[in-house]
Amino acid sequence: MNGLWEKIFIDNQEWVNYSTEHYISFVIFSVLGVAFIYCGTKIWDEKQKHKYWLYLCIFLWIVQYAKVLIKWQLGVFDYHRDLPLELCNMLPIFMTLAVYYKSQKWWAILFFWIMAGTFQSNFTPTLKDTFPHYEYFRYWIIHMGLPIAAMYGVFAMGYRITFKDGLRSFLWMNVLAWSMFLFNHFSGANYMFMQGKPDGKTIYDLMADWPMYLFQLEFVLWAFIILILIPFWVHRYFSKKRAKEKD
């Protein structure tokens, strides 16, 4: 039992991006996500669709905030890095509230944040610990679960996004990021990487040093917003075209 306890709770720092474990983890959680969305589109009725969507978001919220309790219980909690103030840490509670109140406006804002930030983190993970460490499970559950919850709104609930939603997401992201910049400045932390780049190989490696990359991120965010909007624009174009042909 002691050996298993150590494997689950003692950091091993053995994670390697683009390893076999990375690919297998991505595939397994992708399959689970597709299965969940399939149930929402083909099996569950309207009441069940919303209920299970909300349950997924609550589950993500519990998994994320359990990390704080685990760190605290192990006596290794550090407010400089372990508060749930990274974007992916805050999104579960934001998404839970959006789904609970059935707010398509806030779902749309969060959709951009998740697909531009959380989803791409699956390709350049900042994860450090391998299976069966609890951080391994938390990382993949959150970073795959949030995109699943976001895309569920599109495929199961029929939600759509517009350029106006993209603009709102950009503005609110700046409010959140620069608020975090001030928090970091006075606390000495580095949440949302506003005071320095993350460790490991990430998209930040392609950018200038601090603080210039903070301004480059504004253009990167807009690039992601446009890329995310393109499939919706294409879908809207062909839908209108088919409607005209029927007329």
Q: How far apart are CA 51 and CA 66, in angstroms?
A: 22
209: region left, alpha or beta (phi > 0 left; psi from -120 to 50 alpha):
beta
CA distances to 45, 110, 153, 165, 208 from 158, rounded to whole Å, are 14, 16, 6, 16, 40
Q: What is the largest CA-CA distance in the chain?
A: 71
For the stretch 206-245, pLDDT in tens is 899 999 999 999 999 999 999 999 999 999 998 888 877 7
pLDDT for residue 201 is more than 90 = no
Q: Report the pLDDT value the prediction gives residue 247, as an integer from 0 to 100.
A: 67
Omega before 211 cis (within 30°)? yes
Amino acid identity for residue 128 in this structure = K
For the stretch 158-194, pLDDT in tens is 999 999 999 999 999 999 999 999 999 999 999 999 9
Confidence of residue 126 (pLDDT cuts 50, 70, 90): confident
For the stretch 70-84, pLDDT in tens is 999 999 999 999 999
Q: Report the pLDDT value the prediction gives residue 240, as an integer from 0 to 100.
A: 84
For the stretch 25-80, pLDDT in tens is 999 999 999 999 999 999 999 999 999 999 999 999 999 999 999 999 999 999 99
Q: Nearest 10 degrees: CA dihedral of 178, 115, 141, 9?
A: -40
pLDDT for residue 143 is more than 90 = yes
Q: How far apart are CA 149 and CA 68, in angstroms?
A: 22
Q: Report the pLDDT value the prediction gives residue 14, as an integer from 0 to 100.
A: 94
Contact 84, 72 (CB under 8 A): no
Helix 134-155 with 46-74: angle, nearest 10 deg: 160
pLDDT for residue 151 is more than 60 = yes
Mean pLDDT, the chain, integer: 93
pLDDT for residue 1 is more than 60 = no
